[in-house]
Amino acid sequence: MALVGAGPGDPELITLRGWRLLTEAEVVVADRLVPGLLLDELRPDVELVDASKIPYGPSRGQEEINRILVDRALAGKIVVRLKGGDPYVFGRGGEELLACAEAGVPVTVVPGVTSAIAVPGAAGVPVTHRAVAHEFTVVSGHVAPDSPASLVRWESLAGLRGTLVVLMGLKNLAAIAATLIAHGRPPQTPTAVVQEGTTAAQRILRSTLAAVAADVTAAAFRPPAIVVIGDVVNALDPVH
């Protein structure tokens, strides 16, 4: 079984190794964010499983994905688990590898181009820049900052001087921005939101930390989108 990162959205950003394995596959289990053009190139006899349509909610759905991967691999099929971005960057790839390992199924891991870096870059925002940012932090925003389920120390992130990249944070953007400001991040901190980055549908919005949530709502931005917070947002301004 191969666990393959498909990249951030542009089908040409899959790695050569990932593409080769995809052309050899007999079974492909694909996520919702996998570029459709990659799937269009599959052989007609390939069994394509749309993982986003597996029912029963996230946890049961993950169990079903694991079962399909193991069952098809043990049946002797060449299986590719195709995931958007990189399999290990908030992609639950580790859970799938562990399920296969427990069943005795060997797994080849093919890293993917992660949207956390590629999407800002494609939109003209470098996550680091000389004399502007010496660090960048990638965080998931799918859980609200005040939720007991959150594993993120937002108060610590607020004190960092570098770039903050938030994935899956559009729904909680207002709460995230308010929390960062409450813990010391300046309200005027440049902030950008990139929707459907690296694709023909890419949109970018530039704002400030204080205003970004309202601006995103007014512009009707929707997932998938990545939020970049920090002075790097304006680092390449003369280019635009």
Name the active-site residue from 1, 10, 31, 83: 31
Please confirm, yes or no, whether 1 is among the known catalytic residues.
no
Q: From the CB of residue 235, how many other CB atoms can be counted at a distance below 10 Å? A: 21
10 is catalytic: no
Q: What is the dihedral of CA 49, 194, 157, 83, to 10 degrees?
A: 20
Pick the catalytic residue: 77, 168, 215, 231?
A: 168
Which residues, including other chains, have CB under 8 Å from residue 128's CB and lie 6 or more apart?
134, 135, 136, 162, 163, 232
Q: Out of 53, 83, 86, 215, which one is annotated catalytic?
A: 53
Residue 120: is the preceding peptide bond cis (ω within 30°)? no
Give the C-alpha separation, 157 to 152, whole Å.
9
Q: Is 53 a catalytic residue?
A: yes
* Closest by CA position to 221, among listed 174, 185, 182: 174
Give the Cα separation of 79 and 82 in Å (integer): 9
Which residues are tagged catalytic? 31, 53, 168
